[in-house]
């Protein structure tokens, strides 16, 4: 069984005035478990596959009772998502308590490490609810002695108005105030921001200017020079553009955890082959396991989740159906783990 070197992210359970100390929770590189497929294996087999391949961290996009039940006692750490459409009702503390009791409190032997409040809702119609819901969950967690859970949200590069060069990174005007508020919350509790970042998309959109080697961690030397910083791969540059945006809104001290990254194995001609997907995801795992940071934040060890566990046939046709490391029958599309 493959062993994946863990990294430590400090999770604060509550602010200092509540007298609750800082505790440590280990978050290993993991894989997103998407379930939009008509022919996916039963949950029990999926959990067995995570253990077989040494995948010790799972991102769940929604709180599914069958999945949580199957994870009992399996020592697979979980980042648990909150449905975007549930955010408006969870601004009421009693509704948040009910959600927490149902999906977290009732599963004490499932190591849920992070609650992700919404997925890519900033900017957008649900963005106004993210921070109040995060605050509600923090209030609940703070009253649960010994609970090691952080609260955060998932953003995409769509929050950005500028990303190149990385030092020019800035949030869109319509996202800036919301991002400032939630980043201040994350900083006060030492929680990470979750970021969906895919070098595939800028490469496929503009292969003349974005080299394949830069997108796939295979460049023989620095490709982008930004002030005194050199960038050998596009993922580091994307992450650092978000760090630069944080600095511009006055909240620079929040770590980034990659909540999704990957490469499709089919759906867009020569841009999407199993070989290219294997190269990217193998190198992404090496990056996550190396305990290295980015040029702008070398001490913030970058880790996260590969997207995704399976090819999912209920998604739109094209690349969306081909992000999986495994076919639905459990055979690898290409080797990354084990």
pLDDT digits (tens, 9 = 90+) for 272-309: 999 999 999 999 999 999 989 999 999 999 999 999 99
Integer Cα distance of 86 and 118 in angstroms:
9
In a domain, 141, yes or no: yes
User: How many helices (H) does the chain have, and how many strands (E)?
Assistant: 10, 14
**C-alpha distance from residue 128 to each of 118, 124, 125, 171, 179 (Å):** 11, 8, 7, 16, 10
Counting the structural domains of the chain, the total is 1
pLDDT at position 146 is 60
Average pLDDT over residues 172-199: 97
pLDDT at position 295 is 98
Average pLDDT over residues 135-158: 91
In a domain, 273, yes or no: yes
Q: Which domain range does residue 255 map to?
A: 30-326
Please list the active-site residues: 120, 260
Integer Cα distance of 70 and 43 in angstroms:
7
Question: Which of 13-17, 55-59, 178-182 is predicted least confidently?
Answer: 13-17
Question: Which of 17-26, 140-149, 326-335 is predicted least confidently?
Answer: 17-26
Average pLDDT over residues 142-161: 90
In a domain, 193, yes or no: yes
In a domain, 306, yes or no: yes
Question: Looking at residue 262, which CATH number applies to its domain?
Answer: 3.20.20.80
In a domain, 125, yes or no: yes
pLDDT at position 17 is 27
CB 224 within 8 A of CB 240: no
In a domain, 16, yes or no: no
Integer Cα distance of 119 and 156 in angstroms:
8
User: Does the pLDDT of residue 95 top 70, yes or no?
Assistant: yes
User: Does the pLDDT of residue 11 top 90, yes or no?
Assistant: no
H/E element holding 304? none
User: Does the pLDDT of residue 4 top 50, yes or no?
Assistant: no
Integer Cα distance of 315 and 313 in angstroms:
5
CB 179 within 8 A of CB 154: no
């Amino acid at each position: 069984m493959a062993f994946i070197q863990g990294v430590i992210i400090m999770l604060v359970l509550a602010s200092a005035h509540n007298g609750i100390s800082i505790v440590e929770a280990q978050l290993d590189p993991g894989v997103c478990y998407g379930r939009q497929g008509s022919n996916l294996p039963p949950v029990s087999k999926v959990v067995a596959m995570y253990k077989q391949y040494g995948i010790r961290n799972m991102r769940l996009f929604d709180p599914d009772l069958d999945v949580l039940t199957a994870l009992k006692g399996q020592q697979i750490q979980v980042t648990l998502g909150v449905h975007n459409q549930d955010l408006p009702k969870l601004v009421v503390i009693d509704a948040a308590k009910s959600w927490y009791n149902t999906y977290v409190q009732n599963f004490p032997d499932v190591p849920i490490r992070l609650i992700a409040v919404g997925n890519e809702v900033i900017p957008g119609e649900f963005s106004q609810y993210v921070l109040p819901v995060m605050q509600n969950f923090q209030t609940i967690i703070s009253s649960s002695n010994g609970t090691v859970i952080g609260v955060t949200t998932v953003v995409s590069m769509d929050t950005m108005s500028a990303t190149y060069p990385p030092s020019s990174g800035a949030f869109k005007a319509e996202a800036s105030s919301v991002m400032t508020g939630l980043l201040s919350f994350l900083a006060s509790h030492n929680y990470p921001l979750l970021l969906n970042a895919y070098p595939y998309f800028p490469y496929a959109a503009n292969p003349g200017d974005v080299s394949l080697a830069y997108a796939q961690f295979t460049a023989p030397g620095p490709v982008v020079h930004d002030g005194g910083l050199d960038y050998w791969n596009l993922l580091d540059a994307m992450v650092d553009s978000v760090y630069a945006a944080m600095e511009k809104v006055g909240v620079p001290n929040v770590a980034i955890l990659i909540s999704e990254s990957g490469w499709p194995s089919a759906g867009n001609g020569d841009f999407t082959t199993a070989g290219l997907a294997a190269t990217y995801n193998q190198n992404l795992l090496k990056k996550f396991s190396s305990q290295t940071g980015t040029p702008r934040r070398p001490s913030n060890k970058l880790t996260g989740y590969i997207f995704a566990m399976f090819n999912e046939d209920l998604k739109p046709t094209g690349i969306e159906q081909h992000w999986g490391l495994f076919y639905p029958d459990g055979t690898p599309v290409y080797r990354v783990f084990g």
